[in-house]
Structure 1
């Protein structure tokens, strides 16, 4: 752990490097509560909380505490700053929008649009919903469009996601897909940070299932091809309405790594025999990354399938049956800085 003086000095230096492309809001103006409806999720970076702002309304704040050694703090800061810089440049209806940043004590927060919905993983796991063919294809097209936007955003085509999986995909009750969580994915290329909290966690079977074999082999890899592989697994889950992990029950991490290296994939025979999505998925999860199609071509193919099956219909009119939790009582909310102080 860094000494108190070293940590204070490091915090001061890092806080002076806030992304200038985004406005900074006071943490005390972002209100949250101890009610479970204001807890969205957590990860190695920290926690995501539902907050309320007088001007922005409901937002989601991804909170990261800068602690540990100076190296740990720098890696956490680089992850936060990289995600902020990346999202500040992005404007796409199927990618979570960043609004601002905030700081308090030794914490930084990325303020994102609040997506009133649930993760694709939870919807499938809890059997909360059945996708019609039309809705499923629309979701797949939205995902491919979001990835294609990322891959072609920069003239040098360096943008990628790198961690596409069902738990990083949000679905609204109106069946709008939102791709989220850009932190760890971009930090390696941008900063060279190799903190274990920012790289692939090979201890979780569910994350492994979305990981291209060249990554598990420790080889050099094409970031875009990596995203295409992950897209294939998510597409399989949408079409079959089952998590890919259900096809590998009983396998531990090492066994699963071996299976993926040996070209085992989720059971593509679960597709209808004449479903054109089957060949797309199989090509996208090819063992050899050079054999995977560009996501631009995939998006065009999916759009063509939708037109063939449903004409010029471009949006689903269906609405999901799951409900979004009501906001917490305003009287129970405190500023984000005060919330974390009270939580210790």
Structure 2
């Protein structure tokens, strides 16, 4: 039985944790502790294997830091009776590579009876997150469950217990709080603070962050990182997906230390659990990509620089990239700040996240002649304090802007969602029209293909067929126009999209709608009621009434929309439909509120 298949009690894991911590302290004091002296002889086999595997991981790590190259064979010779523990420490057995499938809500409900699981929020390689209600305290929480493949991994359980305790102690307004952690029936979980809002990734992708909002988010991130670094915790996976924007304007960093807990045990190189390649490559510091053993808090500084660059420019700093001010109108002094965070050599970067915050706030609260100033507006539209204003006024304005940034992004998202929701009835109606048009095409084809030798039936079938095609084209055109509206664009561009939808409605509306004054006649013939419809005593009055109705309707329509008619705008709104009118009204409110 391998160590991964063992299931040690928590007391044994805690005991192992204490021994490993002492082993690390001995290394850190300068002495090289002997593995045999730390490993008791009277331990039960499962516990001995778990302790030995973890001690070997630590021993290999610290020896490599001293320039040595410990090999697996060396440990096999030193511990001939513990070959499985040695091989497990060097990650020979590996883990299953099957894709992670989030557990069903019903299963989680049974595992966590104290929680009401509401919905799956998101899932990825590091697990799945669910929105839940903690019934005892009547509060919303986020439940993060890790992949089941860790359930029978004693080494992972040890690392999880050790690291999760540290994460649970992080208490900062810009860090997602961890309320509880543990394992239930082999499922490892975190019970965390629930943040109502969106991720920074969604805001960046939808291009909702202007330079002022992006720079207002930065101090929050710096505060979170500085606090964690002061506690000895490195995030290792700073990226927009792990940054949450709350509805109240809060900015919170999630998944602190999770990359260290989960690690990359399927790596081909025998890296330790502490120094494996962890994180997302596009945001990782060069030393992380190179899998060196000098990864420290400055790796988070580099990842923060990538995030800042992406927030400002919408692009990633890959290869030979331009300075931010070459892509967006910002103070050129910010280039030095961003580029310094992106230095390849850790010693040339900022050494503390608080230094980034200080420089950004200093630049954004003052204006320098000759530079392109970063204009940060207060919530009331006033410009940021000038260099001559009091320092307290500058700081207060910056705090207000920080709080405003998240609210603007999320408020805009919610309002644009209202615009999209207003168009749903129109879209659904067009789908119904499309289906109806297909039916008319089939009816018309049935009418003319079976009666090619009967002139009036042939003609009526063709008319119905062509009308059905027109209905399908009109419905498809409107649906396409609706789907082409990009709600991440400016309100003016969205308004143009709505205008194109309205133009189609006003063009096809009379063409298709008023034609029914006469079209019912060929439809009836195509169905087979021609003996009644074409009878002279009924056909002549029907045609007369139809022509009068069609001409009268078109006349009234033209009078309502003719140039110079003061009521033309109101009539256009009515003819375009209430759904489109609601969308236009909502967008107008957004523009009046000054939300871009």
TM-score between both structures, scaled by the size of structure 1 = 0.70
In the alignment, does 2:256 pair up with 1:182?
yes
Q: 1:302: how far off?
A: 1.9
Secondary structure of 1:274's match? coil
- Greater strand fraction, Structure 1 or Structure 2: 1
**Largest Rg, 1 or 2:** 2
**Match 2:194 to one of 114, 120, 145:** 114
Q: 1:77: how far off?
A: 2.5
Q: 1:217: how far off?
A: 2.6
In the alignment, does 2:289 pair up with 1:289?
no
For structure 2, the 5+ residue unaligned runs are 15-110, 268-272, 367-375, 377-383, 385-393, 418-596
What is the number of equivalent residue pairs in this alignment? Answer: 278
Q: 1:116: how far off?
A: 0.8
Q: 1:219: how far off?
A: 2.7
Whether the 8 Å CA contact 1:171–1:178 is kept in 2: the answer is yes
List aligned pairs for 1:311-326, cutoff 5 A: 311=394, 312-313=396-397, 314-316=399-401, 317=404, 318-319=407-408, 320=410, 321-323=412-414
Distance 1:115 1:230 in 2: 23
Distance 2:311 2:304 in 1: 11
The change in CA–CA distance for 1:68 and 1:49 in structure 2 (over 3 A counts) is closer
Secondary structure of 2:9's match? helix
The change in CA–CA distance for 1:99 and 1:16 in structure 2 (over 3 A counts) is farther
TM-score between both structures, scaled by the size of structure 2 = 0.42
The change in CA–CA distance for 1:87 and 1:236 in structure 2 (over 3 A counts) is same
Q: Deviations over 1:77-132 (max 9, x none)?
A: 345434421222111111001112354322122100001111111221133x2336
**Match 1:304 to one of 342, 356, 362:** 362
Distance 2:9 2:112 in 1: 19
List aligned pairs for 1:261-272, cutoff 5 A: 264-265=320-321, 268=324, 269-272=326-329
Secondary structure of 2:413's match? coil
Residue 50 of structure 1: aligned partner? 131
Residue 63 of structure 1: aligned partner? 145
Distance 1:170 1:82 in 2: 26
Whether the 8 Å CA contact 1:48–1:62 is kept in 2: the answer is yes
Distance 1:78 1:43 in 2: 23
Q: 1:271: how far off?
A: 4.1
Residue 21 of structure 2: aligned partner? none
Secondary structure of 2:188's match? strand
Distance 1:123 1:101 in 2: 30
Residue 117 of structure 2: aligned partner? 32
Distance 1:323 1:83 in 2: 37
RMSD between superposed Cα atoms in Å? 3.3
**Match 2:210 to one of 103, 127, 131:** 131
Whether the 8 Å CA contact 1:139–1:175 is kept in 2: the answer is no
In the alignment, does 2:331 pair up with 1:274?
yes
In the alignment, does 2:173 pair up with 1:93?
yes
Q: Deviations over 1:215-266 (max 9, x none)?
A: 22333334121111001011112222x142xx66xxxxxxxxxx4xxxx446
Distance 2:350 2:253 in 1: 20
- Greater helix fraction, Structure 1 or Structure 2: 2
Question: 1 or 2 for the larger relative contact order (CA 8 Å, sep ≥6)?
Answer: 1
Secondary structure of 1:226's match? helix
List aligned pairs for 1:97-246, cutoff 5 A: 97-101=177-181, 103-127=183-207, 129-131=208-210, 133=212, 135-153=213-231, 158-187=232-261, 195-196=265-266, 199-200=276-277, 207-240=280-313, 242-244=314-316
Whether the 8 Å CA contact 1:121–1:243 is kept in 2: the answer is no
Distance 2:206 2:328 in 1: 21
Whether the 8 Å CA contact 2:259–2:278 is kept in 1: the answer is no
Secondary structure of 2:149's match? coil
